[in-house]
Structure 1
Amino acid sequence: MTVLSEAVLADPVALTRALCDIPSVSGDEAAICDAVEAALGRIERLKVERVGNTLVARTELGRERRVMLAGHLDTVPVNDNFPTRLDGDVLWGLGTSDMKSGTALALWIAATVAEPKFDLSFAFYDCEEIEAERNGLNRLAKSRPELLAADFAILLEPTYGLVEAGCQGTMRARVTTRGRRAHSARSWKGENAIHKAAALLDRLNAYDAREVVVDGCAYREGLNAVFIGGGVAGNVVPDECWVEVNYRFAPDRDEAAAEAHLREVFDGFDFAVTDSAPSCRPGLDRPEAAEFVAAAGGEFRAKLGWTDVARFATLGIPAVNFGPGDPNLAHKQDERVELPRIRACADSLLAYVTEES
């Protein structure tokens, strides 16, 4: 088992690299969860609970407020970018941006801050990068919501050191066209379902995505085909073709409204939702969020993407995204993080949880 030494835990840069060099593609987080659990277990002031490959640690200091710091442990699959390599002030490799540099900051705060001004909770969870039903934070929200209780939450997703508020919702659906099989030598006796999909793709090409301002944050929606399939054999006119679409919707729509919109867009086609996760409004009118924005430099923007701030929102907990990684590098082969960004975000978080306002 990888051991995270006291020296590594005391340095957010070294800790980022150590976490990135533990493989943890979604569904294979046991090793990294073991390492984090062992590190947290050495800290007497923390109460630690493990549920599967998700960990929650809490202080019980009797403070008036509780703040949650959360980060996922998993990554997308390896793409010739593991293990890490250091080039000057840039750390390259899988997970450096999304989001082990942020997760490392939560672990660093847990390991080094003995007297925070808030009680602190920390969530390190699995399966964020895959379907919602396997998401560790989602499972806790349903089965052990008391472990996530807090007055405010900071999700350490990549934001390049700027507070990103709220998030888009995401919905995937399968849209199906149907025909009638026939021998391709006598194709006029059948109906080609793949050809019928042309009308579906025309709708997607013509789709005009909304741009919406919600609570001062500008969100742009998107609707795209992400998979397509069909066909029976090389000499058969196919009787079925399907297109999977992904809709990213602004936080002025909930999941029911998003589904209703898609059913309108694809009226006349067979339609079924395959996966969905809610949007989250910015919530910057909440004093807890406003206080953190001020501590992090006062600037903010919309989160273009889905994150687990939506999980906290469903529990009534205001939450924002904040982390050192560049969101534009998430899931890319050339993923990387700048060391000065890690240190700057570490300074902001440390000041927020220790300095009296």
Structure 2
Amino acid sequence: MSMQTGKQSICFETPPYIVSSASIVGKKEGEGPLGACFDLIGEDDKFGQDTWEEAESTLQKEAFGMAVGKAGLKKEEIRYLFSGDLLGQNIATSFGLMDYQVPLFGLYGACSTCGEALSLGAMCVAAGYADYVVAMTSSHFASAEKQFRFPLEYANQRPMSATWTVTGSGAYVLGKRKSNACITGITTGKIIDYGIKDSMNMGAAMAPAAADTICQNLKDFGRRPEDYDHIITGDLGSVGREILIDLLKKEGYDISEMHLDCGMLIYESKAQGTGAGGSGCGCSAVTLAGHFLKQVEQGKLQRILFVPTGALLSTVSFNEGKTVPGIAHGVVIEHAD
């Protein structure tokens, strides 16, 4: 029987397991509502390095080592590594992980990279190409602001629609060895462009892509929203969530009761001054690893649809007046006895 399901999905005949995970965050994230969930909280957001970029590389290096260690494995037992970040040429990934000398697929899906990494890693294991792989990603508030917006010293005023890039890295070991959580299916997203040109409103840019992927997942698997305990988006924030709910209602799906957004959970937005919520590759990665995955492993959640969302822009495209397209990847994660 073919594992291809519907137009954009795969239903794994032999689901790969999430053997272990690790989450490392910065000081601000550790002070948020989910602070107690994370494996490691940095006291200094430079993590002992001289630059913000080196700090983000350190996040990835430590997250990889922690996830592999939790799995009781050695780095030599990891067949492939799927990872990426927000920085040009994926420098946080390449400089952070090169010392491990694990074969690497460098990825870029903007803030949806965690979903892309988990999808490709799961496909690799399910197809028999590897016994163990690591899927991971990272982001850093200061390195992202430096590249995409303004230097921190500029102290620019932020609109309420803006989100706060999470400083953090999440890593997952996927393999054939049984655990209490597995990836039973994926839905690969398309590039969706609604003509948004506001680089400070990522929620509006990404919500249409999230709606498209969620809608396609439900169609491909023949499910209704209530078939999931939660439908979890990556970093739409409060602005993007409203748009997502409205778009899906037009398609006949009401996900308002089971929808949660990682960007809205990781910070206490008013108290911490983070605007519409959290964003960045690390936002969904650490929230899944630190919060939701533990509930799946314990059986408190039986099935979730994890949908990290990404805004596909660069400083070049934005300065040339281009729009901000979005993309979202769906990963179905279920409890395994």
TM-score bracket, shorter-length normalisation: under 0.3
TM-score for both structures, normalised by structure 1: 0.24
Kindly indicate which of the two structures has a greater share of residues assigned to helix: 2
Give the number of the structure whose alpha-carbon radius of gyration is greater.
Answer: 1
TM-score for both structures, normalised by structure 2: 0.25
